[in-house]
Each structure stands twice: as structure tokens, then as C-alpha cells.
Amino acid sequence: MNPNTKDINHINRRSFIRLSACAAVGTSSLFSTLFNLRQLNAATTETNGEADDYKAIVCIFLYGGNDANNLLVPTDQATYSLYAAGREQLALARESLLPLNALNSDGRSFGIHPSMTGCHELFNNGSLALVANVGTLLAPATLSDFRNRTAAIPDHLFSHSDQQVLWQTSVNENAAIDPTGWGGRIADLLHARHNDSSISMLVSLSGSNFFQVGDTLLPFRTDSRGSSTYDILNGWDQHATTRAEGFRSLLEKDYAHVMERAFADISNTAIKNADTFNAAIENASDFEMIPDSGLGNQLRMVAKLIQSRQALGQKRQVFFVATGGFDTHGPQLGAHAGLLGGLDSAIKGFHDALASIEAEDKVTSFTASDFGRTFDTNGRGSDHGWGSHHIVMGGAVKGQNIYGQFPDIQMGSDQDTGRGRWLPTTSVDQYGATMARWFGVPESELATVFPNIGNFGSSDLGFMNS
């Protein structure tokens, strides 16, 4: 393991708080309704958009650290030669790469991984963009900053657990700020302004995460089958109805003890929310264009919830879906092709599903991951890196462009922190802030959501239409 990697078992006080907050949601969204007690803290007199305006952000997290060096590949002869020399047996054949007709290539040419036929089509028709060399940064950084570990450099680079937290929170471990995620902070600001519902605007299809933990809201957790509550309410034997009625009657009692009363109140609200949730999606489309896969089934449920947004009283929603297996230390080429193929088919199917309900311009989806991977090879695969390339998709995206700065991929360059771990030139804060502005976060509130954004020259990468 790299010496800079923090022991995955190390948990400080801030990490413990985060983990506890995520775990508290449990199998039901018991605490998603607590925003009713505190939503006035987030409300302001400012309004954004019309009454029927709807927007959603979908975070697609690739657990393990995606090797984006083989997602976006230069194909002009000079730069491809550097790529082939640096990647050795990990290099993809130049003729296998799917050509990207980028509008802003400045004379350079690029291709996308041959498994990503759907994303290739979406890029070239203007529905998808790529953002180059994004990573966790606290301020713009140089190679000297990295070597001297200045304030711009986050703690515990190359550690899965720490970089997942930093990607999802934009809060360095020792920062004096609440341990919340930037998706959660967006929801804290916008929920009361836009949504008329007791169901949280944060919905996770992939269990606990840090991205959606807010001060006011926590995610409503569900899965591809719908929302569940207590097992006692879902039995099928001859006594099931009696048990369920008995449990509901216990929750309706007037308890004197404050903890008993709180448990009953929260449980009742959770059950009612689950019933509302399941009733709202009962008549949603099947979206058969989305593949029957782990990620595909998560995105199918997201599409159903978007289609059912009026029944749920939602005008803003933040979704979290995820897939794993991207820690490709080796053997990589075949495994990575399968992972990217699965990602591609799910993304393309989701796009087509949104188009079928005329919602593609209302939804922006983006990829995130622990980190990129080393440009060189360990002999079988690649190891933990830093800067990485990412996908942004949706009708509001200024597609068919590559944003950010593609790294100088010559080994030993000023962006090489060692083994082709690229020093990021675009921060997670800039990446997220560009979407948050489109979503309705006012300029004056961007620093509340992205605490490092003031350190960067621009908070808008330009890939979103206003």
C-alpha cells in the first residue's frame, strides 16, 4: 500500500459523526422527516424559478477509483505515442478508440473507451460532456505544493475511505465545519424553497453515503423495489394482518415518556412516507430501455421517481446511485472494459428513459469516484491515483465538449506527482458548483455549499446552460 494511504480502520471524531448520521437512517427514512422541525432555518424570502419548475441532480459514484486514463484517450499521433509508452500493456489500441467530435478540441483529437458506445453517441449528439482532470483540492496547487504538503493539498491522498469522504463532502478532515456532504448542503438550502412534501429531496438508491448528509435533511433510502418499512407490516401468513394492526395501534398510543413518544411519532411518519412513496410510483413506467443490472435498476427507480415527482410534491431532488469494482490493481484490461460497458449501458438507458417522459432537460447526471489511477502499470493493472476525468450528461449540459485541462501525460511532467498520479487542475468544488448554480443555489450561497470555492479563480466551468 502507498505510504501516504491512511489506514482504512482509522476513524476520528468527524468520521464517526458522519458514519453515525448515515447509519441512523437505517432501512427506513426515519429521520428524513425531521426537516419539518428545522426547515425554517433554511428558508429565505428568495425564490428560484417558476412554480412548475423541476430539476434533479444524479450522482453516479464509481467506488474503487476509476481508471479514467482509459476513459478519455488522446488520439493525435504525438500525444497517443506518449500515452502508449506510459501505459505499456494497459494501452488501448488507437484504432479501437471511438472518436469524439469535440467542438473545443483546439486541434487535438480524442477517443473514448471502445466499451462506451452509448456515451460516444451521446457525446457526439451534444447530450454529454467530459470534464478533464478533476480531483480533490483545497486550492490551486503546483507540484511544489504537493511535495511540501502545503495547505492546498488534502489529507490522506490515495486512501479509498478518505477520498470518498472528501469527494462527497468537499470538507478536509481537520476543517472547522460540520461533517456534511455537498449534496446535503444543497438540499438544506433549497428544500423549503421548492418542495411541498415531508419526504426528503435527498434520495439514495445505494445505501448510506456522505454526499447526502445535511444539517437539516438526511436521505430517504430506498432500493430498486421501492420503499420498505418494518417487517412486521409485511408478513404473508394467517396472522400478518393481526400483527400489523397491533403494531400500528401501539404507535398510535399517547406515550408519556418523551423517547417513546418520539419513536412512535417518527415511526408513524416513516410508515406514512413509505406508503406515499410506493403509491406514487405504482403506475410509473417500466423503462425497459434501462438494463437489468445493479446500476441499471437503481437508475430505473430514479426515473420512476422523476416521473412521479408531482405526486411526491417534489420540484428539486438530489439522487445518489453507485456501482463498485473499479479498484483495478489487476488484471485490468478485461475487467475494466466490462465495468465501463455496464456503466455505459446504464447511462444510455437512463438518458433514453428520461427522453421518453420529456424530462432529459430537467436532469443532470454526473460521475464521481474515489480518485483516478496511476498512468503507469504495476505489471497487471493500475494503482491509486489522483486527478481523473468525469462524465456529465443531460439536456441542460453544453455537450460535445471537453472541459477543464487535459493533463500533460508525459511521465515526469509538472503534473506528475509520481507514477502518473496527475495533479488535478479542476477541483471537486468547481465541478459541483457549476451544477449547483444551474440547480438553483444562489451565487451568494455557493461558499456555504462549497467551502473551498473562494480559493479558485472560477466557480463556473461552463458546461451547464443557465
| Nearest C-alpha neighbor of 202 from the set 190, 210, 194, 212 | 212
Q: String of b and e for 398-434 (b: at least 16 CB within 10 Å)?
A: bbbbbbbebbbbbeeeebbbbbbbbbbbbbbbbbbbb
Which of 13-27, 117-131, 204-218 shows the highest mean pLDDT? Answer: 117-131
The two beta strands, 110-112 and 72-74, are: antiparallel
Number of domains into which the chain is organized? 1
pLDDT of 336 reads 98
* Low-confidence winner among 14-28, 130-144, 215-229 (lowest mean pLDDT): 14-28
Q: Is the dihedral of CA 43, 48, 50, 56 positive or negative?
A: negative
414 vs 245, more confident = 414
The tens digit of pLDDT for each residue in 31-43 reads: 333 333 233 233 3
pLDDT of 38 reads 32
Does a structural domain hold residue 465?
Answer: no
The tens digit of pLDDT for each residue in 159-195 reads: 999 999 999 999 987 665 667 999 999 999 999 888 7
Does a structural domain hold residue 86?
Answer: yes
Does a structural domain hold residue 460?
Answer: no
pLDDT of 51 reads 45
Does a structural domain hold residue 463?
Answer: no
Does a structural domain hold residue 7?
Answer: no
The tens digit of pLDDT for each residue in 197-219 reads: 667 899 999 999 999 999 988 88
Q: How confident is the model at residue 277 (pLDDT cuts 50, 70, 90)?
A: confident
196 vs 133, more confident = 133
Does a structural domain hold residue 242?
Answer: yes
Residue 202: burial class (beta carbons within 10 Å; 0-12, 13-18, 19+): buried
pLDDT of 238 reads 63
pLDDT of 7 reads 37
pLDDT of 385 reads 98
Q: How confident is the model at residue 27 (pLDDT cuts 50, 70, 90)?
A: very low
Q: Provide the domain limits for residue 238.
A: 13-455
Does a structural domain hold residue 181?
Answer: yes
Report the distance separating Cα 21 and Cα 229, nearest Å. Answer: 19
Assign residue 173 the CATH number of its domain: 3.40.720
Average pLDDT, the chain: 86
* Low-confidence winner among 174-188, 324-338, 369-383 (lowest mean pLDDT): 174-188
pLDDT of 232 reads 56
The partner residues of 74 in beta bridges, in order of sequence, read 110
DSSP run (H or E) holding 279? helix 258-281
Q: What average pLDDT does the segment 44-50 reach?
A: 35
| Nearest C-alpha neighbor of 193 from the set 79, 308, 316, 99 | 316
Has residue 98 got a pLDDT over 90?
yes
Q: Three cell numbers at 434?
A: 457549476
Q: What average pLDDT does the segment 289-295 reach?
A: 98
Distance of CA 233 to the CA centre of its chain: 33
| Nearest C-alpha neighbor of 279 from the set 227, 220, 201, 231 | 227
DSSP symbols for 291-338: -SSHHHHHHHHHHHHHHTHHHHT-SEEEEEEEE------SS-HHHHHH
Are residues 132 and 426 in contact, defined by beta-carbon separation less than 8 angstroms?
yes
Collapsing DSSP states into helix, strand and coil, what is residue 433?
A: helix
The dihedral region occupied by 106, where left means phi > 0, alpha psi between -120 and 50, and beta the remainder, is left
Does a structural domain hold residue 466?
Answer: no
